[in-house]
Amino acid sequence: MPDPPRFVTVDDYEALAREVLTPAVTEFLAGGAGDERTLASNRRAFDRWVLRPRFLRGVAAADPSTELFGSPLALPVLIAPWAYQRTAHPEGERATARAAARAGTIMCVSTTALDLLEDIAAASGSPKWWQLYVFADRGFTAEMLRRVSSAGYAALVWTIDLNAYGLRHRETRVGYEPPISLTTQDLAYDPSIDWDDLGWIREQAPGLPLLLKGILTADDAELAVAAGADGIVVSNHGGRQLDGSPASLDVLPEVLEMVGGRIPVLVDGGVRRGTDIVKALALGASSVMIGRPAAWGLAAGGEDGVVDVLQILREELENAMTLCGCATVGDITREHVAPAPDG
Ligand SMILES: Cc1cc2nc3c(=O)[nH]c(=O)nc-3n(C[C@H](O)[C@H](O)[C@H](O)COP(=O)(O)O)c2cc1C
């Protein structure tokens, strides 16, 4: 008898990653801010919705492919920017880049990536996005954005929710020390960023779609659209910034209502299952992003681990779509979710 497959779900990868990582790196990856109420709420928010499957629609198989800013995606799941990937696996961001390419999706590379942004860009031939933190040294930021453009990154994701570092008590308790990034040499971020900076960022990287990541209110969504953002990522940074801020999925409907289809709205935080992806898309998200699932996959299995995590989510998504009567991503609509009776 062959051994049963060991990795059936994303959570199985978390368990193995915890076995191979040092306690300090595990706490860095897993932890949230404060009492981790927001971190926990990101998961619970998916339980506040139930799926409404529709049958007898002749759906024998589902195709989860989609498209964002002109790039085809094999599935509506992008890899969220997450820092210091070489601490989880020696191949770091380059392994994640190759995995995203193999799975047919996009990796968003963090400003805090440990390798040079050009080397990560060259690790695979597929489109990648660059996540931006604006540094107090604007000359350096401008030069970094020039390098991002010439290295071929296809979009910018400006993370707006880190004008201060969240209170990550797990990191403090284990004495976690962040490593030095080759690209940034760990300069200080500019804590005084504001809406006027959006125009300045655009000028440094003309022609690249600019998404704002960290939006948690309809009001900020409206300001983002008015300021000319090309997309929004509804996110609370995986519960790592302001504890007590809402679950991303809980604010997704108000953001979508305000945006009214003018620009794509993505969401991240707590996505662990194909059914979570269907719920987010049924509410109106264009795509989801995953942070920790990719981190667990990388730690446990390197490039292959990340590919497998994406494959697990893909198979779960296909199964959930088929059982909901959705042959394509476009078939997933608001009729496929309802508030949970006990939610
Ligand atoms: C270890 C770790 C590092 C992260 N680093 C960054 C970062 O450098 N830039 C950023 O915009 N978001 C960062 N995030 C937040 C992710 O982009 C994403 O919003 C979050 O992980 C989504 O929640 P999930 O982990 O539940 O999927 C990080 C998240 C984790 C877990």
**What's the confidence (pLDDT) of residue 58?**
97
Residue 329 lies in a domain: yes
Domain annotation covers residue 5: no
Q: Is the CB of 170 under 6 A from ligand 1?
A: no
Q: What is the mean pLDDT of the chain?
A: 96
- Domain housing 130: 10-339
Residue 181 covered by a domain: yes
Structural domain includes residue 335: yes
Q: Is the C-beta atom of 110 inside 6 A of ligand 1?
A: yes
In this structure, is residue 1 part of a structural domain?
A: no
CB 58 within 8 A of CB 322: no
Predicted local distance difference test score (pLDDT) of residue 2: 58
Q: Please tell me whether residue 204 adopts helix, strand or coil conformation.
A: helix
Q: Quote the DSSP letter at residue 245.
A: S
| Nearest protein CA to atom 14 of ligand 1, as residue | 82
239 lines ligand 1 (CB under 6 A): no
Please state, in angstroms and rounded to a whole number, the distance separating the CA atoms of residues 78 and 69.
13
Using one digit for the tens of pLDDT, what is the confidence trace for 241-272? 999 999 999 999 999 999 999 999 999 999 99
Helix segments in the chain, DSSP class H: 10-20, 23-30, 37-47, 92-103, 117-122, 138-150, 169-174, 197-204, 218-226, 248-259, 274-283, 292-324
> What confidence tens digit (pLDDT) does each residue in 44-100 have?
999 999 999 999 999 999 999 999 999 999 999 999 999 999 999 999 999 999 999
DSSP category for residue 330: G
The ligand 1 atom nearest the CA atom of 110? 8
Instruction: Indicate the number of domains in the chain.
Output: 1
Nearest to 323 by CA among 46, 47, 55, 63: 55
Residue type, 138: R
State whether the beta carbon of 238 lies less than 6 angstroms from ligand 1: yes
Return the residue whose CA atom lies nearest to atom 4 of ligand 1. 82
Q: Locate tokens 């704002």: which residue? A: 212
109 pLDDT above the threshold of 80: yes
Regarding pTM above 0.95, the answer is: yes
Residue 183 has pLDDT above 90, yes or no: no
Longest dimension (CA), the chain: 64
Residue 203 has pLDDT above 60, yes or no: yes
Q: How confident is residue 1, by pLDDT bands cut at 50, 70 and 90?
A: low
Residue 306 lies in a domain: yes
Task: Please tell me the distance between residue 335's alpha carbon and the centre of ligand 1 in angstroms.
Answer: 30
Indicate the pLDDT class of residue 5, thresholds 50, 70 and 90.
Answer: low
The per-residue b/e assignment along 112-145, b for 16 or more CB within 10 angstroms, e otherwise, is: bbbbebebbbebbebbbbbbbbbbeeeeebbebb
Say yes or no to pLDDT of 207 above 60: yes
Mean pLDDT of 291-313: 98
- Residue 248 in contact with ligand 1 by CB distance below 6 A: no
Burial label, 274 (beta-carbon count in 10 A; 0-12, 13-18, 19+) = buried
For residue 132, the CA-to-ligand 1 centroid distance in Å is 13
For residue 53, the 8-state DSSP code is -
Tokens of 210: 């600019």
Q: Going by CA atoms, what residue is nearest to atom 20 of ligand 1? A: 238
Q: Of 89, 169, 237, 336, which one is the catalytic site residue?
A: 237
Classify residue 204: in a domain, yes or no. yes
Catalytic status, residue 169: no
**What span, in angstroms and rounded, lies between the C-alpha atoms of 326 and 162?**
38
pLDDT of residue 185: 82
pLDDT in tens, 151-160: 999 999 999 9
pLDDT tens digit sequence for 293-303: 999 999 999 99
Question: How many Å apart are CA 53 and CA 59, to the nearest integer?
Answer: 12
Q: Which atom of ligand 1 is nearest to the CA of 236?
A: 19
The domain that contains 92 carries what CATH number?
3.20.20.70
DSSP string, 57-113: S--SS-B--EEETTEEESSSEEEPP-S-GGGT-TTHHHHHHHHHHHHT--EEEPTT-
pLDDT at position 4 is 55
Pocket test for ligand 1, best of 240, 287, 288, 296 (most atoms within 8 A of CB): 240
Nearest CA to ligand 1 atom 10: 81
Q: What are phi and psi of 55, to 5 degrees?
A: -105, 175
Report if residue 49 sits inside a domain.
yes
How much is the average pLDDT of 210-223?
Answer: 98
Residue 3 has pLDDT above 70, yes or no: no
275 — pLDDT class (breaks 50, 70, 90): very high
d(CA 146, CA 124): 20
What confidence category does residue 202 fall into, taking pLDDT thresholds of 50, 70 and 90?
very high
